[in-house]
Amino acid sequence: MAEKPHLNLVFIGHVDHGKSTLVGRTLFETGAIKEHVINEYKKKAEEKGKGTFAFAWEMDQLEEERERGLTIDVMHKRFDTDKYYFTIIDAPGHRDFVKNMITGTSQADAAVLVVAAPEGPMAQTREHTFLARTLGVDQLIVAINKMDATQPEFSEDRFNQVKDEMTKLLKSVGYRDEQFKVVPISDLHGHNITRSSDDISWWDGKTFLQYINDLTAPEKPINKPLRLPLQDVYSITGIGTVPVGRVETGIMRPGDKIHFMPANVSGEVKSIEQHHEELPKAEPGDNVGFNVRGVGKNDIRRGDVAGPVDDPPSVPETFDARIIVLDHPSVITAGYTPVFHAHTAQVACTFLEIKQKLNPKTGEVVEENPDFIKNGDAAVVTVKPTRNMSLERVEDFPEMGRFAIRDMGQTVAAGQCIDIKEKEM
């Protein structure tokens, strides 16, 4: 049968708002996890005094995650609806793990933002919303969860309050009405996930899964040159070097000669796999592992990007970027060196100069060569990576030109690369 269109769906939201449980519930309701597996998890979870975590355990496979009740790494799982097949990216909500959340979200075609109804939007809800917007996720489903825990239960008033707060928040970062839907749910008991619920009889909208089915599959940029950022590199006995990553643009086929940057090494693609099945080709959106001949495991690493030999990924000596300062305790001046998270790369970069201050709403220039920028400011800056990294201009490869800037354990700014001065390699 013809393969259904594929969508990458990231689940984001504040820690403890029920994200992993919603992921588990969605996998269960769509038949991707069998009932006996959930019952097994339930039994084990109850033994550890964490009975309500049974669904979350499907995603939280690491023992440490189960002990702490947290999501640490970005897990991938597949589920199907009649229209699409989805890869779920369960992105960590916990502060320490925003790094992984950035790599997860930058691969997503759409996001589910989980907000607990009793608490409403929290600091991290704001951070995640802003990141989703900056990293180019333009379809959102806001799942207002734990409706069974409002006072009174399943309160329509409380839903409307949180919905209003979320709508304001989404619009403040630039989302338009048609880009998001808000839906009331209770993931623990399955209210309004796949079936409408008598407890939420006042709700006349769709179920959570119907909204997911209404998402639009993005146009695949297959006519562009290949760009595939590496998430990991394995060495598998009897096979050889196997890099893993998601195709952002272009097509990769067995037999292709590819070049990795900034590692500056070339090899030949021998075979490609996804979800343990061999593929004749990999297209944008595919999370794949591929065996490459002529490249050793230690020649390449996470953050490197694969492209065609005759059009390799670019490596900037310096680059110009348009950024917006989100959350910095003081001011940013030339000489500041935070960590830039672009696709799967994490590289410290130094601000060489602040060229222009911009109006964050309109993008118009407000001031030339300001001495500093602070929270809420937008600017054009020139930046120099402290070590080689691959980055593209956002107008050539939007997927490869966006980044978040992190420092002191938080996202301080985010932006896009608008011009590159290429490095001689």
Q: Which of 188, 213, 238 is the last residue of a domain?
A: 213
Are 288 and 195 found together in one domain?
Answer: no
Q: Which residue has the tokens 């935070």?
A: 338
Q: In this structure, are 80 and 202 located in the same domain?
A: yes
Question: 229 — phi, psi (to 5°)?
Answer: -75, 135
104 and 183 housed in the same domain:
yes
Joined together, the tokens standing for residue 41 give: 């998890």
The position carrying tokens 């061999």 is 278
CB 192 within 8 A of CB 264: no
Answer yes or no: are the C-beta atoms of 54 and 41 closer than 8 Å: yes
User: E strand or H helix at 411, and its extent?
Assistant: strand 410-422
The answer to the question of residue 222 being in a domain is: no
Reading the block at residue 144, the tokens are 């207002």
* 169 and 31 belong to one structural domain: yes
Domain that holds residue 288: 228-308
Say whether 40 sits in a helix, a strand or coil.
Answer: helix
Sequential pLDDT tens for the chain (425 residues) = 357 888 888 888 887 888 878 888 888 888 877 777 667 766 776 676 654 555 554 444 444 444 444 433 334 577 889 999 888 765 554 443 444 445 544 567 899 999 999 999 987 788 778 777 766 788 999 999 999 999 999 999 999 999 999 999 999 888 999 999 999 999 888 899 999 999 999 999 999 999 999 999 878 889 999 999 998 898 888 888 999 998 999 999 999 999 999 999 999 999 998 877 889 999 988 888 999 999 999 999 999 999 999 999 999 999 999 888 877 889 999 999 999 988 889 999 999 999 999 876 666 899 999 999 998 788 999 999 999 999 999 889 988 998 888 898 888 888 889 999 999 88
Block residue for tokens 């008991």: 189
Claim to verify: residue 320 and residue 295 sit in the same structural domain:
no
247 Cβ partners below 8 Å, 6+ apart? 226, 227, 228, 282, 283, 284, 285, 286, 288
- For the whole model, what pTM was predicted? 0.65
**Is residue 323 located within the same domain as residue 297?**
no
In-domain check, residue 223: no
Q: Are residues 299 and 321 in the same domain?
A: no
> Considering its fold, how many domains does the chain have in total?
3
Q: Is residue 219 part of a domain?
A: no
What's 86's domain CATH number?
Answer: 3.40.50.300
Residue 246 lies in a domain: yes
